[in-house]
Amino acid sequence: MLIQKIIQELQNIPEEKLAELYDVIHYFRLGLSKETAQPRTPGLLVGKLGDAFFEPLPEEELQPWE
């Protein structure tokens, strides 16, 4: 069985490398859960942008970014 082969391989990994291996497995598993989510469809947004979208931001909103 494949799980038994994986466990055998894990037993041969030095203790000081297990944290790195855990990170690989953990983030791989997290990536799998994202694959089941609906894929994003690129393209234009439905609807129109109002004129306010193109107006410059007020100075008080720009200040924190400088």
Identify whether the C-beta of residue 21 lies closer than 8 Å to the C-beta of residue 11.
no
- Taking the C-alpha atoms of residue 30 and residue 38, their distance in angstroms, rounded to an integer, is 15
pTM: 0.47
Domain presence at residue 25: yes
Domain presence at residue 53: no
Range(s) of the domain holding residue 2: 1-35
Q: Could you report the per-residue pLDDT of 34-49, keeping only the tens digit for each?
A: 766 666 677 766 777 7
- Taking the C-alpha atoms of residue 60 and residue 62, their distance in angstroms, rounded to an integer, is 6
pLDDT at residue 20 greater than cutoff 80: yes
Domain presence at residue 13: yes
Domain presence at residue 59: no
- Tally of structural domains, the chain: 1
pLDDT at residue 5 greater than cutoff 90: yes
| Structure confidence at residue 36 (pLDDT) | 61
Domain presence at residue 1: yes
Domain presence at residue 27: yes
